[in-house]
Amino acid sequence: MKTPETKGILLVTVVADVVRLMKEDRISRDDLEEEVCADALKLIDEGVSPVSWYPSVVYRDLVRILMKLEGKGLGDMEYVRKRGERAGQRLLESGLYQQLDFLTRRIQAQESSSRESFEQALRLIVSMAASLTNGGSWTVCQDPEYPDRVQILGTGVDGLSEENAQGTCGMFTGISLHGGAGFAWRYERQGPDRIVYRMDRDIRDLRFKSSNSER
């Protein structure tokens, strides 16, 4: 089974923050060598190519350093999600992904007035996620527990760490919130190779909020 890989654009700020911590003498090179993989050390030394692919363990190892030194310690997934949310916002602002520009325009124009059209719009996010994660399969489908919500399902993602999965959840939330959709995503791991991102609000509530904001 192919090991999941992460696009370099998602590692740029992670690497930069670890380098900053080294310059601030908050972690030594020796300590770093004991805690991260060789591929992560190589990025610390040589930098990141935003368009290259890297093993997903690189993100995991470097984010764990940041959790311990800037978060509340290992297991602080709220810190990881917040980092992902900021990454999603930066992706929107960068203009690099046409899918996100189109999604934002659809949301602002209130074209996603039904679950079906909303689901169609979210496929744009999924296509972008697929372009940032090499490995597994991503689809949009109806949430079986909430008829007026959709979910993003990732399968074949065995080997994708909790840090990677939670960071992706934050990224989806950042794209949704800063793109004007007004909702967040919740993450669930349903098995070693199956994860789900679920909306935290019904689509009709989003339409109701949007209608009220225009009055």
Verify that 206 and 186 share a domain, yes or no. Answer: yes
Lowest mean pLDDT among 87-101, 107-121, 129-143, 164-178: 107-121
Verify that 46 and 100 share a domain, yes or no. Answer: no
Cβ-contact 163, 10 below 8 angstroms: no
Q: Is the pLDDT of residue 170 over 80?
A: yes
Q: What is the CA radius of gyration of the chain?
A: 18
Of 47, 78, 109, the position where a domain reaches its end is: 78
Burial letters for 162-191: b for 16+ Cβ neighbours within 10 Å, e otherwise? ebbbbbbbbbbbbbbbbbbbebbbebeeee
Structure tokens at 108: 């602002």
Query: Residue range 2-27: average pLDDT?
Result: 92
Verify that 136 and 59 share a domain, yes or no. Answer: no
Verify that 103 and 160 share a domain, yes or no. Answer: yes
Which residues are within 8 A (CB) of 133 and not within 5 positions of it... i.e. 6 or more apart? 4, 5, 6, 7, 56, 160, 164, 168
Q: How many domains does the chain have?
A: 2
More confident residue, 174 or 122: 174
- The one-letter amino acid at 18: V
Cβ-contact 197, 187 below 8 angstroms: yes
Q: How confident is the model at residue 18 (pLDDT cuts 50, 70, 90)?
A: very high
Verify that 148 and 124 share a domain, yes or no. Answer: yes
Verify that 105 and 167 share a domain, yes or no. Answer: yes
Summarised one tens digit per residue, pLDDT across range 71-103 is 999 999 999 999 999 988 888 777 665 555 555
Could you give the 3-state DSSP secondary structure of residue 190? strand
Q: Is the pLDDT of residue 31 over 70?
A: yes
More confident residue, 118 or 204: 204
pLDDT of residue 131: 73
Verify that 61 and 108 share a domain, yes or no. Answer: no
- The range of the structural domain enclosing residue 11 comes to 5-78
Of 55, 7, 4, 53, the closest CA to residue 157 belongs to 4
pLDDT of residue 212: 45
Q: Is the pLDDT of residue 153 over 80?
A: yes
Verify that 111 and 208 share a domain, yes or no. Answer: yes
Q: Is the pLDDT of residue 104 over 60?
A: no
Lowest mean pLDDT among 2-6, 105-109, 163-167: 105-109
Verify that 125 and 102 share a domain, yes or no. Answer: yes
Burial letters for 122-145: b for 16+ Cβ neighbours within 10 Å, e otherwise? bbbbbebbeebbbbbebebeebee
HEC string for 33-76: HHHCCHHHHHHHHHCCCCCCEEEHHHHHHHHHHHHHHHCCCCCC
- The one-letter amino acid at 162: E
pLDDT of residue 2: 67
Global pTM?
A: 0.85
Q: Above pLDDT 70, what percent of the chain?
A: 80
Q: How confident is the model at residue 10 (pLDDT cuts 50, 70, 90)?
A: confident
Of 27, 59, 78, the position where a domain reaches its end is: 78
